Amino acid sequence: MYACTFGVLARRERGLIRKKVAELAGVSEATVSRVLSGVGTVKEETARRVMEAARQLNYVPSALAQRFALRRSGNLGVILPMLPKVNLFSTYYFSEVLSGIGMTAKQRGYDLLLLFREPDEPRDYANLFRTQKVDGCIIIGAQDVPSERAALAELREGNHPFCLVNQRYDGEDYNSVDADQRTGCREAVRHLLAQGCRKIGFLNGPAVYSNSKDRLRGYREALEEAWLAFLPERVLLGNYSRTSGYQQAKAVAALVQAGHIDAIIAANDRMAIGLLQGLKESGVKVGEDVALIGCDDSDIVRMTDPPLTSIRVPFFDIGSEAASRLLDAVADQDGSAAFDVKLPVKLITRASSSAAGTTKA
Amino acid sequence: MYACTFGVLARRERGLIRKKVAELAGVSEATVSRVLSGVGTVKEETARRVMEAARQLNYVPSALAQRFALRRSGNLGVILPMLPKVNLFSTYYFSEVLSGIGMTAKQRGYDLLLLFREPDEPRDYANLFRTQKVDGCIIIGAQDVPSERAALAELREGNHPFCLVNQRYDGEDYNSVDADQRTGCREAVRHLLAQGCRKIGFLNGPAVYSNSKDRLRGYREALEEAWLAFLPERVLLGNYSRTSGYQQAKAVAALVQAGHIDAIIAANDRMAIGLLQGLKESGVKVGEDVALIGCDDSDIVRMTDPPLTSIRVPFFDIGSEAASRLLDAVADQDGSAAFDVKLPVKLITRASSSAAGTTKA
């Protein structure tokens, strides 16, 4: 526990140690005391050299003292929203992204520090760096609200390495790894049109998530492509929970029975599954009366009745890509350029979208 | 950054500060320097008083310096196995347990530090405490193997607070939170017998998990209760993965077609679902030719065809119970007694176990 006892060594001894370490590390004595006392900032490379020299001279600092001097926690932070009544890890989206992050962090020798954020809790992300709890952080479920924008701006000002997952901010070039949801929804609409559907509805999530906006854009673009009008009354809103999909089922059933829609795309599988359950209860047959497409291609969609057509999003890859690029940035804080990755998605067709439209055409 | 600069202050100044802080905190100057220099151990309560006094005298230590002195990380560690080809968070079991742990840690002001362990990696859990990365740790997926027993013994010797989830060791009274799997399997067998089944098979997991042994015991006890013989050839082995259940389907199908079994209990839902898929491919109708019961009552079992009867295990509660009891122990390391909790389970009956036996009797 050398670095700890440094504080209580006699001044003469401290001077002696400083001198020896400085010689061995090839730095000034002032630098050595900055490193060993944890005062002031020192280039990481230099700090490492000093620590190494101290070690060679059998002044073995404690791990905490090392992190103290190197300003390193060895932790990769992941900021997650605390969703009311949702077991976060039980949602396919968070599960897969975290698995990808965890696998990569492990490979890179980092531990994962999970930081849960209550909806109304102040977002003081920079403090995680000030208190050296993390060396970098990934933010999942970030929303486009003023408090979040402020917190991210503070991270940027502090030059703290961070990365957004599945979220973007107009006018900001923050590090981000995302899926190409826009193309995904375009593909989904094209597929439904090919099935003979002409009246395609859309159950979207909140606009505070850039993904919701991307999906809506893709949906509109594909309609325009086919010279079909965009009708606002065919667009419903949920909050990405299964319950919200279930709650919209009555409205969707009414639209189907009134002949106003013959297909619907849900912005994630959870809402699609809630919708599927609700439509069953309303006597509407998915895959016959109406075509249904979800998004995520989560493990559950193979098991629904009928199996659900869904847009496969590589969440695991998104997580590992975010972690590996962020940890590169952590290792090389000056040299690293901002990154903005969009991974491709793929439509997986199943019975829920089988020629529903045509049977009615 | 007072505590940091303490090491480089002139001796006279240090003496003065020590004196003032000691007076205000009502402790000896020796204690003050122990706390502020981070040397030697001090009762946590005392350390807090000293830190508070230092703060009142405008010597504000950095958060890291505080943790340094208080020997606190503010992190609750969770040790998880790295399962080959399994996205950990995507398994219902880990997802729910972690959600319960995370929710409680959050409420108690702790962050969650996830520590992934490769199957063959040395298990040096005590080092997490030596390097002050965690204040307590929960171990999930612990196995009854020598390396694990050694690592736990070291934690015990170091008086480091830890808790096992869903695992027990004969002859050790480690803190543990578990589900009553034994009673669960007994209930499952009784239910099958009530359905008219008489030849009940069992697909279990590896014996390195105490749960596997508990379930087998419950299975045997219920058979004995009914004066039915325990036949080893009716017990198959998987590894709790869906694949392993799928791989055993051919063997199970053969047993069913030969009339050797009319029902089977799988030790978790993942294996049950793999089995269900494999049996379908072999032309064996679950719920008609054979009754099937899973364990966990994970979210997927409602969606299988037929829906799966399963033993509901309160994984979320197990996680939150483990976290809250462990954090109590962390707060009161001397006063806390060892705990050993077993939460009740509940059989949820669905079509997969509907009077299969009787149709054949």
Residue of B nearest to A301 (CA): B303
Higher pLDDT, A5 or B82: B82
Q: What digits encode the pLDDT tens for the residues A32-60?
A: 877 776 555 677 778 778 878 877 776 65
How close does chain A come to B345, measured CA to CA in Å? Answer: 19
Instruction: Residue A316: list chain B partners with CB under 8 A.
Output: 87
Instruction: Residue B11: list chain A partners with CB under 8 A.
Output: 11
Homologous superfamily of the B181-313+346-353 domain (CATH) = Response regulator (3.40.50.2300)
Question: B6-60: what fold?
Answer: 434 Repressor (Amino-terminal Domain) (1.10.260)
Homologous superfamily of the B75-179+316-343 domain (CATH) = Response regulator (3.40.50.2300)
When mean pLDDT is compared across A84-98, A216-230, B159-173, B331-345, the lowest value belongs to: A84-98
Q: State the Cα–Cα distance between residues B316 and B94, nearest whole angstrom.
A: 9
% of residues, chain B, pLDDT over 90: 61
Instruction: Residue A99: list chain B partners with CB under 8 A.
Output: 87-90
When mean pLDDT is compared across B184-193, B315-324, B332-341, the lowest value belongs to: B332-341
A304 touches chain B (CB under 8 A): yes
Q: Are B74 and A133 inside 8 Å of each other by CB?
A: yes
Averaged pLDDT of chain A: 87
Of B8, B87, B100, the CB nearest to A99: B87
Q: Give B215's contacts (C-beta < 8 A, 6+ positions apart).
A: B181, B182, B184, B185, B202, B204, B267, B295
Q: Are A299 and B82 inside 8 Å of each other by CB?
A: no
Of B8, B33, B133, the CB nearest to A37: B8
pTM of the predicted model as reported, rounded to 2 decimal places: 0.75
Q: Are A116 and B106 inside 8 Å of each other by CB?
A: yes
The residue extents of the domains of chain B are 6-60, 75-179+316-343, 181-313+346-353
Give me the residues of A, 26-65, that contact B with CB < 8 A: 33, 36-39, 62-65
3-state secondary structure labels for all residues of B131-193: CCCCCEEEEECCCCCHHHHHHHHHHHHCCCCEEEECCCCCCCCCCEEEECHHHHHHHHHHHHH
How close does chain B come to A84, measured CA to CA in Å? Answer: 11
Query: How confident is residue A4, by pLDDT bands cut at 50, 70 and 90?
Result: very low
Instruction: Residue A116: list chain B partners with CB under 8 A.
Output: 102-103, 105-106, 112
Q: Are B95 and A87 inside 8 Å of each other by CB?
A: yes
Strands (E), A141-270: 162-165, 176-179, 200-204, 235-237, 263-266
Whether the predicted pLDDT of A334 surpasses 80: no
Higher pLDDT, B64 or B52: B52
Averaged pLDDT of chain B: 87
- Whose tokens are 């309609």? That residue is A223
Compute the CA torsion angle B213, B219, B223, B224 (nearest 10 deg): 30
Q: Are A62 and B88 inside 8 Å of each other by CB?
A: no
**Rounded to whole angstroms, what are the CA distances from B268 to B12, B94, B184, B231, B290?**
67, 13, 12, 21, 17
Query: How confident is residue A197, by pLDDT bands cut at 50, 70 and 90?
Result: very high
Q: What digits encode the pLDDT tens for the residues A230-270?
A: 999 999 999 998 999 999 999 999 999 999 999 999 999 99
Q: Are A304 and B299 inside 8 Å of each other by CB?
A: no
Most A CBs within 10 Å, among B98, B114, B127, to test the A interface: B114
Judge whether A75-179+316-343 and A181-313+346-353 match in fold: yes
Question: Residue range B104-121: average pLDDT?
Answer: 89
Of B95, B118, B132, the CB nearest to A95: B95
The predicted pLDDT at position A86 comes to 61
Q: At what angle do helices B29-37 and B44-56 cross, to 10 degrees?
A: 90
A106 touches chain B (CB under 8 A): yes
Q: What digits encode the pLDDT tens for the residues B180-204?
A: 999 999 999 999 999 999 999 999 9
Whether the predicted pLDDT of A85 surpasses 50: yes
Question: Residue range A117-135: average pLDDT?
Answer: 86
Whether the predicted pLDDT of A3 surpasses 60: no
